[in-house]
Structure 1
């Protein structure tokens, strides 16, 4: 994704590589200069999700993304699927067609 002031890039490793880091690189083009920041994590996403779920059940901690966030995620996924279908002249129906 690119915009006037910079761009973020998220690179996922191959799914069969255990503990390979996901890398987030943020590029900032403010004031005509480029600045890069790189963040990596080798913690498995599923393990983080499982720990957060456990915390919600055991300690009553609210989820980081509530119903509104979940709806936003679904809408974004539906729009991506609809765009892909349109670009490749594939049929698209249901909620995705009108997302």
Structure 2
């Protein structure tokens, strides 16, 4: 086994442990993986941040911010009882309600 594979395996094992135990927030763990790979010399800094050039991670991050805002402002406190009322607690009805489109 090459030293690079061993280092990546150790970083991966540490990341899995941190993600499962939630000792650190997920974002801190994710950035820690990137920093650890750079510190080990396995990634150049340009390679490490290349993923941020893609709009998909930024969109996912924005959705996390929006969802946290909806929870903290209480906007979901209004929607949740209505959703439970219309779906009767059924997962399949919830899926259908979520996918329903307004037909104007």
Q: Shorter-normalised TM-score: what interval?
A: 0.3 to 0.5
**Which structure is higher in RCO with an 8 Å CA cutoff and minimum separation 6?**
1
Bigger fraction of residues in helix: 2
TM-score normalised by structure 2 residue count: 0.31
TM-score (norm 1): 0.32
Determine which structure has the larger strand proportion and give its number. 1
